[in-house]
Amino acid sequence: MTEKKGRDIGLGVPIPEKTCDDKNCPFHGNLSVRGQIITGEVVSDKMQKTVVVKREYLYYIPKYERYEKRTSKYMAHCPPCLDVKVGDKVKIGECRPISKGVSFVVIQKLEGEKR
């Protein structure tokens, strides 16, 4: 019988190979992910277990009938089982508030830096 390395969070994302003992990990702890799922790029990883994710989107201006590019930054909890660095594309999911500014958690690393 094969032993699972974590629990399935139900969003079609793979369970990480590494394990961790973080209570705020959606795979190895007891944090539930519900609400928005956002894809973005990591722009800062200087905090402990927290990364800043930047998302770019287009906003329509009716007067000029054109789009403008806008950005938003989200602070997200990063479990130790996911090795996320600056420049990585990640998928983050909404969860309960972990701290004053953190209400998202990293659930998948999509691709790494191309340097």
Place of tokens 């590019």: 69
Contact 112, 88 (CB under 8 A): yes
Q: Does 1 score more than 50 pLDDT?
A: no
Structure tokens belonging to residue 102: 């953190």
Instruction: Decide which of 113 and 11 is more confident.
Output: 11
pTM here?
0.85
CB count in 10 Å sphere of residue 80: 15
Which residues are 75's β-sheet partners?
52, 102
What are 49-60's pLDDT values in tens digits?
A: 999 999 999 999
* Spatial distance between the Cα atoms of 105 and 92, rounded to a whole number of angstroms: 5
| pLDDT bucket at 3, cuts 50 / 70 / 90 | low
Q: What is the mean pLDDT of the chain?
A: 88
